[in-house]
A and B are shown apart, each in its own frame.
Chain A
Amino acid sequence: MEPVNLFDLATRQSQWLAVRQTAIAGNVANANTPGYLARDVEPFEKVLERTAVSLSATQQGHLGFGATEAAFGTRVQEYDGAILPSKNTVVMETELMKAGEVRRAFELNTAIVKAFHSMLLTVSKG
């Protein structure tokens, strides 16, 4: 069956959101660690751009450049706030805001997948 692109996209976004949640958890846990620099995952658009041009594996021997293999790299977040004596750059409010964004995006993601899945079910049940 021709793979439905939406499921692939939704899977990748939910993976990306999970990695972002991990980055947020790391920042919140290290909110009082001296010298810790807040991290964030690279934007989802960037991930999409990078994996848009990928060779498709048409034979067994082809090396996979599958989009699902894409690891989402985290990097140090830009910081323009006050430099604290502890050199820590975690702003708890920003982290909570990001956590809210992740939650909303994840809810939307699962809702879309659910709707699409029920459409497929309706079609296949007839």
Chain B
Amino acid sequence: MDALTATLKIAASGLGAQSERLRIVSENLANAQSTGNFPGADPYQRKTVTFVSELDRVSGGSVVEVGAIDRDPSAFPLEFQPGNVAADENGYVKLPNVNVLIEMADMTEANRSYEANLQVIRQARDLISMTIDLMRTP
């Protein structure tokens, strides 16, 4: 495979991975207040995404892929809400272990990485068109 086509493929894999990450962030943010629906139930558990680098045999480059989507094992914060349906016998409700600030930081980072991959695609496109321009008659 031609190296510039391989560049486009690798950058596209980066775009895919970062948008998957953004999807997980939005899932976490949407469920930031999702408690359980019976007394003492576990609330929504924050999801985390990991990336793995894979050698692409066709292009010889290292494309990125989404690895396992895991659950954050950190403890759930407790809040005293006796009226809640998920409250245990002492009136405490387990809230999701989602920290909105962390999710925001993650979102910004995913955004930046997405932009960097876009920039690589833009540049590869420019290099290809520079090569094609050699054939234009002046």
A interface residues with partner B (beta carbon < 8 Å): 14-15, 17-19, 21-26, 28-36, 39, 92, 95-96, 99, 102-103, 106-107, 110, 113-114, 117-118
Contact = CB atoms under 8 A, between A and B. Distances in A.
Nearest to A111: B130
Contacts of B45: none
Interface stretch (B27-35, B74-82, B87-95, B114-122): B114-122
B51 A25 contact: no
B123 interface: yes
A22 B61 contact: yes
A29 B133 CA distance: 28
A32 B51 contact: yes
Contacts of A14: 131
Q: Which of A28, A29, A107, A110 has the most CB of B within 10 A?
A: A29
Mostly, the B contact residues are helix
A99 B120 contact: yes
Interface residues of B, number: 38
Contacts, number: 108
B96 to A, nearest CB: 24
Interface of A is mostly: helix
B127 A99 contact: no
A76 to B, nearest CB: 11
15 contacts: A14-B131, A21-B4, A21-B123, A22-B3, A23-B61, A25-B11, A26-B10, A29-B11, A29-B120, A33-B52, A36-B53, A99-B123, A110-B131, A113-B134, A114-B138
A102 B120 CA distance: 11
B61 A25 contact: yes
